[in-house]
Every structure is written in structure tokens, then in C-alpha cells.
Structure 1
Amino acid sequence: MKALIDEAKQYIQREVQSKNDVFIKLCSLNLLNAAIKDKEYKKELSYGYIKPRVSRLVKFLISHFENGYADELYYDAQGQCMYIRCYGIQFSFHNIIVTNEIRTFANSELNNPIEWDGVRLQPISKDLFLLAKDIHSRNIEVNQINDVFKHIIEDN
């Protein structure tokens, strides 16, 4: 798991050039968010490291909204939760740093309320990260993502 955490940290530093890049960043952030809850990794990870990077990615997705890097973006101010759907998979991040850009987005007509899918991604964060790596290295095609995701959910 340590090697995956180190890899995830590298992926979140990279510039976004495609939807695949966004997906691997989301899966990396999800992996780190799950790992921080494990005593073994608490010393090398912090929410102060993870949350600003989520906010930075959200800021990028807002400023490149028309590029379609995310299928859906929704900030629930009351629940303090950012929802991001990419390749049909819904990620949610609580208590992110709300920048001026995120606040402006939250108050705009682009911020359309969506329901949580009810799928907890942190318990399957390792499998999702490995899926993202396979997509990034083109071992899995984008049109196979939903089937692979269903298998991941069924197996856990």
C-alpha cells in the first residue's frame, strides 16, 4: 500500500491534460483520503496535504468546465461536500477548502444539485486507483470502465 500511496502523491502533482488525468487524480485523492484513516499512514499524510489538492483540482475543473473533464460538478454548501462525476463514477470530498472560484461556482447556475449515488469509494480506493492506472496506461479502454467498476463493487 505504501508504494501505491507514493504513486498517488506523484499523480496528484501532474498537470491535467485529459479526462484520464482527472480520473487518476480523483482516484489518487480518494486513495489518500482512505489511507489517512489507517494508523500506519497517518504520519505521512494529512488533511492539510489532501484537501488543498482537492480544491486545486476543483478550481481547475470549474475553469475548464466546457472541456468536459468532469461529467458533473456539484458543491453542496450545506453538507460541505463537493461531488465530482468522472467516467460515470461519483466522487465526493467533504470539508474541502472553499476558494473564491468554488464559492462563485456554488452560487452559479452551473451548480446543479445532484444526489449521492450511495457508493462508498474509500473502501474500494485501492481497486479504483489500480483501475485508473490501467486506463492511464491504456490497458483498459474508457468504454470498459462501467463494467470493471461494477465488478469491483460486486467483489467487495
Structure 2
Amino acid sequence: MRRLAACVCAIALIGAVAGCTAEGSSSTTSPSPAPSGVVGPSATTTVGDPGDTAGTLTVTARYEPLCFGDPATAPPTCPTEPVAGVEVTLTSVGGDRIATATTDADGAAAFVVAPGTYVVVAGAAGGPRITPRPMRVTVAAASATTVTLRYLSSFQ
């Protein structure tokens, strides 16, 4: 049984979703500093000396269980839950490891990086979960970029 694209694309976890693919979704907003009182990842990994034009890349890992419903009447609801303790690796487009972080209790990890294009590689999560494919993401100067890693149910 295949999951409906409408169910998969209907979930926007942080900010606006600019695109929706089988691997995940990403969005870019600006500026990068979070307003006072906004809760983000419990730890942020700074990569090297990103300089004054650094951007923030926030990675959120979410588990999406199998959805059921009649697509003719309405798309089914897909409750999600955070995936904590997952190792997230940031690499160059050429495959060189740049940094690694572990998702917190909310399923989030963050990197402060120089502007550029990176690949986000998700680690395996326990249970009946399919590990997302690596995602290419571009971080603009002085911006905040969010990537959602969608761990789908292996009971599909």
C-alpha cells in the first residue's frame, strides 16, 4: 500500500515548506536570529569559523506512521512524533564529513555554517522506520534554513 502524496506533503513542521519530496522538505527564511523566547534545538553545532555571513541550518526528525483513510473523501490525518537521539551528519556535496549532531528530545539539531550547499545525512532510527535519503540543501548568507527528515513507517 502506498502513502498518498497529499498526506505526506500536508505536514509542515517548522515554517513554510517550500518543497515536498520523498526524502524530506526544506524551507528558507530570513533573518537567522530567533526571536527572544523561541525554543529551538537544545544544542547548536558551529562549523569552523563561519564568519559574519553565517547561516543556521535546523534539522528536524519526525516519524510519520502509516496513514489510512479514503482519499476520495479527504486525505487521512498523519500524526507525527519527534525522533530523538538520531545522528545527523552534514557533508559537503563531494561527500566530505563536515559535522555531526544528535537530535534532541524534540527531534531537532542545528548547525551554524558558512553560506553554501551541503548534504544532510540522516542516521537510522529504531523501530519500524525507513531512514530518509540524503538531502541537498543550500544555506544562504545570514539566513535560517529548516530541513525536515521524514522517517516513514516500514509497514507500507
* TM tier relative to shorter chain: under 0.3
**Larger relative contact order, structure 1 or 2 (CA cutoff 8 Å, min sep 6):** 2
The structure with the largest helix share of the pair is 1
Structure with max Cα Rg? 2
- Structure (1 or 2) with the greater strand fraction: 2
Q: What is the TM-score when the length of structure 2 is the normalising length?
A: 0.26
